[in-house]
């Protein structure tokens, strides 16, 4: 093995020596003749320009068409999506609904009868500015929108999320809720029933509780 | 012995009594827990024996020294005895005596069932941890702490209410997380102490001495693969052993009571108790994220790069740890284990009574100010429009605006002249302002918490008319 390697390297070095012994003088290759330009090539604008432009245009045409088509499709899509927001049929209970005669709601009571289905408490109280009123409070905490619980024993609405508490009349008094619960519309319908209208809201801090649409006189009972 | 159904039955507790503190299955489960503790401590005893450390006895105890291993051996024996007692007594839970005594429950609940004391305790604990880091980071002390916390957990299992809250499948991983946080905090101090000791002797940090390079393949990739497999196995076991709790179908008009955010957001939920939704839900989280991204740019301390240290980065580490441990992890504990129905604070051994009453009447700063002056709140005459109302509202809330303005605009300047003088010089104006405002915003949470608890302060600025409350 060793011998073989040695022999090989010896042979190789002999070759190198042989090559070095005969230095070849570099031969300059003959230059090819300069081609004569065809007459058409001289007129660049006339010949090449047109070709190049049409080539570029040909390349871009599908891209432009493709992107326009995509833009158009997306636009139609978006419009469709917008249309989606206005369904033909709305399977929601109407915002106005009757809740029975005022006599169903005696003074000093908070009715949770409509809470599960409609998200309102019907309150009949004289705790707000000493007036005997019936009104409907939306069961949405004014802090972050959880549904508080009406605690009969403590006579308050208490929110399970961050502990806001509201008096029976809806005024906030504990926890982080910054403003009272909101009233929704309440009126005495022609047939003597109370009618809640959830499409309107009345905020105490805006002075909207003075609005006569936000309550019904409780002395009617 | 098939222990899986055992553990689950011990967590879910089938029994005739409504709220039994101890049942045969509880005692049986505990005996296994004590047995595992015993095995862990046998291993530790063996380690101590190998190391051959000694404890020097104080002079009044006769001086001399005893091997650490002996202490651990005695402790392990006690654990084994306790485990055996549990095994043999599991048939008579009524007369079982190795339970959390009532006076201890009352004492613990007195602290944790009050958010003030809880926060004070976590903050004091944090300071003590920093002060005694040298001692706490010793392996034997760390092991003792682990044992104490595990013993506390184990013996507390003899309380029905504690089991309900800790054994809830939702909360089991949070308990595990607490131990993981504790472990990594300990590892940090252990390594940092070592480097700090070396630095005091003029030696380079361990990391720069032991910086032998290893190969990606196989050293790193194998480790990663093993971790992957272990994590997968853990998740599979977890998925089998602890069922995901299903609740009733969602309803827009019924909110579960208590309603808890996912555990990692409980800090935010706690923040919502003190600040308005737009602040606690939008501004503060963004400030937290942005602030953490800003840390590399406001940090001018070049030390501590690539190695553990505490002494060389005291301010940075203390600030970060305060934000992370008492303010973030602490709030997760508060939210998970202590917040109950109606978001009231309950003790860990306390029954979750929906009717627990806590007086929380809150008062706005403007009310304090104007009523304190004996005047009514400035109010626009009824029926005035927005532009007529605005000056009245702004006047009403002027004290709050002044307080906030002072806090965020004047305080940085004052601090630059006093406690943060060095920082101001090193950082320059812009960097310093970013830094000081971030620190102040971080401090705003505990500040508001303390004010809420101390004087029932609701909002500094309360303009419900414009949905602007701070
Ligand atoms: S949502 Fe009701 S207190 Fe936060």
Determine the Cα–Cα distance for residues B132 and B135; give it in Å rounded to an integer: 5
Testing ligand 1's pocket by substitution, the residue of A138, A149, A150, A177 carrying the most ligand atoms inside 8 A of its CB is A177
Model confidence band, residue A20 (pLDDT cutoffs 50, 70, 90): very low
Kindly state the helix (H) or strand (E) to which residue A132 belongs, with its residue range. strand A131-138
Longest dimension (CA), chain B: 88
Residues B49 and B142 in one domain: no
Q: Do B360 and A174 touch (CB under 8 A)?
A: yes
Question: Tell me, what's the pLDDT at A117?
Answer: 87
Q: What is the pLDDT of residues A22-33, one digit of tens each?
A: 555 667 777 788
Report the first-to-last Cα separation within chain B, whole angstroms: 58
- Judged against a pLDDT cut of 80, whether residue A196 lies above it is answered with yes
Q: Which atom of ligand 1 is nearest to the CA of B343?
A: 3
pLDDT digits over B281-323, tens only? Answer: 899 999 999 999 999 999 988 898 889 999 999 999 999 999 9
Domain boundary among B316, B341, B358: B358
Q: How many CB pairs under 8 A join A and B?
A: 85
For residue B10, is pLDDT > 60? no
pLDDT recorded at residue A35: 77
Q: B277: distance to nearest CA of chain A, Å?
A: 7
Cα gap B451→B79, rounded to integer Å: 45
Q: Looking at the structure, tell me whether residues B157 and B300 fall in a common domain.
A: yes
What is the pLDDT of chain B when averaged over all its residues?
88
Lowest-confidence region among A39-48, A84-93, A141-150, B162-171: A39-48
Nearest in space to A168 (alpha carbons), one of A184, A186, A152: A152
More confident of the two residues A149 and A47: A149
Judged by CB atoms closer than 8 Å, whether chains meet at A161 and B256 is answered as no
Per-residue pLDDT of B92-122, as tens digits, reads: 777 788 888 889 999 999 888 888 899 999 9
* Listed residue (A212, A125, A113) closest to A168, CA to CA: A125
- Residue B256's pLDDT is what? 86
What was the pLDDT predicted at A25? 61
**Cα B231 to chain center, whole Å?**
24
B4-8, B143-147, B262-266, B445-449: lowest mean pLDDT where? Answer: B4-8
| B367 pLDDT higher than 60 | yes
Residues B212 and B89 in one domain: no
Closest CB to B269 among A118, A154, A162 = A162
What is the structure's pLDDT at B245? 76
Angle, helix B115-131 to helix B314-322, in steps of 10 degrees: 160
What's the pLDDT band for B89 if we cut at 50, 70, 90?
confident
Binning pLDDT at 50, 70 and 90, where does residue B339 land?
very high
Q: Find residue B468's DSSP bridge partners.
A: B463
Question: Environment class of residue B128 by beta-carbon count within 10 Å: exposed (0-12), middle (13-18) or buried (19+)?
Answer: exposed
Asked if residue B299 belongs to a domain, the reply is yes
Q: Per the domain annotation, does B4 fall within a domain?
A: yes
**Are residues B108 and B93 both part of a single domain?**
no
CA distances from A19 to A7, A24, A142, A182, B54 (A): 19, 9, 98, 104, 82
Question: Which residue range is the domain that position B444 belongs to?
Answer: 365-469
Q: From B69, B99, B129, give the residue that closes a domain.
A: B99
- Tell me the average pLDDT across A145-163: 91
Return the pLDDT at B77: 95
Q: Which of A163, A166, A210, A211 to mutate to test the interface with B (most CBs of B within 10 A)?
A: A163
Mutate to test the interface with A, among B339, B343, B451, B468 (most CBs of A within 10 A): B343
In terms of Cβ atoms closer than 10 Å to its own Cβ (0-12, 13-18, 19+), residue A173 is middle
B375 and B350: one domain?
Answer: no
Same-domain check for residues B329 and B381:
no
Instruction: Give φ, ψ of B452 to 5 degrees.
Output: -60, -45
Reply yes or no on whether the pLDDT at B261 is more than 60: yes
**Residues B238 and B310 placed together within one structural domain of the fold:** yes
B380 assigned to some structural domain: yes
Confidence label for B16 from pLDDT (cuts 50, 70 and 90): low
Choose the final residue of a domain: B321, B339, B358: B358
B286 and B344 belong to one structural domain: yes
Q: Is residue B251 part of a domain?
A: no
Pick A160's closest partner by Cβ from B256, B357, B467: B256
How is chain A split among helix, strand and coil, in percent rounded to 5?
Answer: 40, 25, 40
User: Do B315 and B351 belong to one domain?
Assistant: yes
The answer to whether B159 and B167 are in contact (CB under 8 A) is no
Residue A163 distance to chain B (closest CA, Å)? 5
Confidence of residue A13 (pLDDT cuts 50, 70, 90): very low
Q: What pLDDT is attached to residue A16?
A: 45
B39-47 LR contacts (CB < 8 Å, sep 24+): B41/B72, B41/B75, B41/B76, B41/B79, B41/B147, B42/B76, B44/B72, B44/B76, B44/B143, B45/B69, B45/B72, B45/B73, B45/B76
Note the pLDDT of residue B197.
94
User: For residues A107 and A218, is the Cβ–Cβ distance under 8 A?
Assistant: yes
**How large a percentage of chain B has pLDDT more than 90?**
55
| Residue B250 lies inside a defined structural domain of this protein | no
Q: Is the pLDDT of residue B275 over 80?
A: yes
Asked if the model's pLDDT at residue B226 lies above 70, the reply is yes
d(CA B163, CA B157): 5
B360 touches chain A (CB under 8 A): yes
B44 falls within a domain = yes
pLDDT tens readout for residues B386-403: 888 899 999 999 999 999
B142/B222 same-domain check? yes
What's the whole-number mean pLDDT along residues B224-231? Answer: 97
Please say if the pLDDT value at position B208 is more than 80: yes
Out of A139, A175, A210, the one facing B360 most closely (by C-beta) is A175
Question: What is the total count of domains within chain B?
Answer: 3
Please list every residue in chain B whose beta carbon sits closer than 8 Å to the beta carbon of residue A163. 273, 342-344, 360
How far, in Å, are B179, B200, B222, B223, B464 from residue B216 at the CA level? 30, 34, 9, 10, 59
Radius of gyration of chain A measured on its C-alpha atoms: 45
Q: What is residue B2's predicted lDDT score, i.e. its pLDDT?
A: 44
**C-alpha of residue A144 to centroid of ligand 1, in Å:** 5
Mean pLDDT within B448-461: 90
The token pair that represents A170 in the structure block: 């809806």
Residue B464's pLDDT band (cuts 50, 70, 90) = confident
Helix (H, G, I), strand (E, B) or coil at A136: strand
Average pLDDT over residues B44-71: 83
Residue A79 has pLDDT above 90, yes or no: yes
pLDDT at B24 over 90: no
For residue B248, what are its two tokens? 């009733």
Q: B177 with B80, same domain?
A: no
Three-state SS at A106: coil
Residue B186: inside a domain: yes
Lowest mean pLDDT of A22-36, A41-55, A130-144, B67-81, name the range. Answer: A41-55
Res. B7: pLDDT tops 70: no
Is residue B6 very low, low, confident or very high in pLDDT (cuts 50, 70, 90)? very low
CA of B338 to the centre of ligand 1 (A): 18
Residue B184 has pLDDT above 60, yes or no: yes
Q: Do B342 and A163 touch (CB under 8 A)?
A: yes
Query: Which site among A178, A182, A205 would you substitute to test the B interface, given the most B Cβ atoms closer than 10 Å to its Cβ?
Result: A178
Do B131 and B50 lie in one domain? The reply is: no
- Cα–Cα distance for residue pair B272/B180, rounded to 1 Å: 27
Highest mean pLDDT among A71-75, B2-6, B365-369: A71-75
Q: What's the CA gap between B257 and B343, in Å, rounded? A: 8
A42: pLDDT confidence band, cut at 50, 70 and 90?
low
State both tokens at B192: 């940092």
State residue A21's pLDDT score.
Answer: 47
Q: How confident is the model over A145-155, as a mean pLDDT? A: 91
Contact A147 B269 (CB under 8 A): no
Task: Please report whether residue B252 resides in a domain.
Answer: no
- CA–centroid distance for B308 within its chain: 23
């Amino acid at each position: 093995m060793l011998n073989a390697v040695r022999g090989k390297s010896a042979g190789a070095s002999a070759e190198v020596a042989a090559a070095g012994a005969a230095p070849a003088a570099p031969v300059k290759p003959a230059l090819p003749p300069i081609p004569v330009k065809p007459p058409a090539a001289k007129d660049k604008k006339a010949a090449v320009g047109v070709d190049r432009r049409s080539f570029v245009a040909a390349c871009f045409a599908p891209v432009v068409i493709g992107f326009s088509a995509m833009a158009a499709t997306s636009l139609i899509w978006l419009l469709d999506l917008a249309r989606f927001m206005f369904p033909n049929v709305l399977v929601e209970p109407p915002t106005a609904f009757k809740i029975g005669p005022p006599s169903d709601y005696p003074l000093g009571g908070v009715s949770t009868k409509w809470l599960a289905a409609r998200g309102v408490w019907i309150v009949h109280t004289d705790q707000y500015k000493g007036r005997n009123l019936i009104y409907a409070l939306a069961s949405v905490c004014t802090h972050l929108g959880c549904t508080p619980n009406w605690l009969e024993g403590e006579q308050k609405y208490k929110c399970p999320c961050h502990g806001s508490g509201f008096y029976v009349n809806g005024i906030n008094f504990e926890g982080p809720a910054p403003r009272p619960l909101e009233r929704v519309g309440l009126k005495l319908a022609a047939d003597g029933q109370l009618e809640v209208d959830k499409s309107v809201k009345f905020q105490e801090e805006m002075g909207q509780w003075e609005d006569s649409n936000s309550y019904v006189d409780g002395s009617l009972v | 012995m098939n222990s899986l159904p055992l553990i689950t039955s011990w967590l879910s507790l089938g029994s005739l009594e409504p709220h039994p503190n101890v049942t045969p299955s509880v005692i049986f489960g505990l005996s296994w827990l004590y047995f595992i503790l015993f095995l862990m401590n046998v291993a530790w005893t063996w380690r101590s024996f190998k190391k051959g450390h000694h404890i020097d006895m104080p002079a009044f105890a006769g001086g001399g020294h005893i091997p650490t291993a002996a202490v651990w051996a005695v402790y392990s024996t006690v654990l084994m005895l306790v485990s055996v007692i549990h095994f043999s007594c599991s048939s008579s839970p009524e007369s079982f005596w190795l339970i959390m005594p009532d006076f201890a429950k009352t004492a613990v609940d007195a602290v944790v069932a009050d958010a003030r004391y809880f926060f004070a305790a976590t903050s004091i604990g944090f300071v003590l941890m920093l002060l005694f880091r040298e001692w706490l980071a010793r392996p034997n002390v760390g092991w003792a702490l682990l044992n104490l916390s595990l013993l506390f957990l184990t013996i507390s299992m003899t309380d029905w209410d504690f089991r309900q809250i800790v054994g809830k499948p939702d909360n089991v991983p949070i308990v595990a997380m607490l131990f993981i946080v504790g472990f990594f905090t300990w590892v940090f101090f252990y390594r940092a102490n070592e480097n700090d000791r070396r630095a005091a002797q003029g030696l380079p940090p361990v990391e720069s001495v032991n910086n032998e390079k290893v190969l990606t393949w196989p050293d790193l990739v194998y480790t990663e693969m093993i971790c992957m497999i272990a994590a997968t196995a853990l998740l599979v076991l977890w998925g089998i052993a602890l069922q995901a709790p299903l609740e009733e179908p969602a309803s827009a008009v019924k909110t579960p009571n208590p309603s808890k955010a996912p555990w990692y957001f409980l800090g935010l939920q706690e923040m919502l108790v003190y600040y308005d939704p737009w602040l606690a839900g939008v501004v503060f989280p963004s400030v937290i994220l942005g602030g953490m991204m800003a840390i590399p740019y406001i940090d001018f301390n070049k030390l501590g790069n690539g190695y553990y240290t505490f002494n060389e980065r005291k301010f940075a580490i203390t600030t970060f740890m305060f934000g992370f441990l008492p303010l973030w992890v602490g709030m997760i504990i508060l939210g998970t284990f202590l917040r109950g129905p109606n978001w009231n604070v309950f003790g860990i051994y306390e029954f979750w009574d929906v009717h627990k009453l806590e007086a929380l009447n809150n008062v706005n700063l403007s009310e304090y100010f104007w009523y304190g002056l004996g005047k009514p709140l400035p109010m626009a005459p009824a029926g005035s429009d927005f532009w007529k109302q605005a000056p009245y509202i702004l006047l009403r809330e002027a004290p709050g605006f002044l307080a906030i303005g002072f806090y965020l605009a004047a305080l940085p300047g004052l601090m630059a002249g006093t406690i943060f003088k060095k920082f101001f010089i090193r950082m320059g104006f812009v960097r310093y302002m970013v830094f000081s405002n971030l620190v102040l915003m971080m401090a705003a949470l505990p500040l508001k918490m303390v004010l809420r608890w101390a004087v029932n302060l609701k909002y500094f600025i309360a303009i419900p008319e414009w949905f602007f409350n701070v």
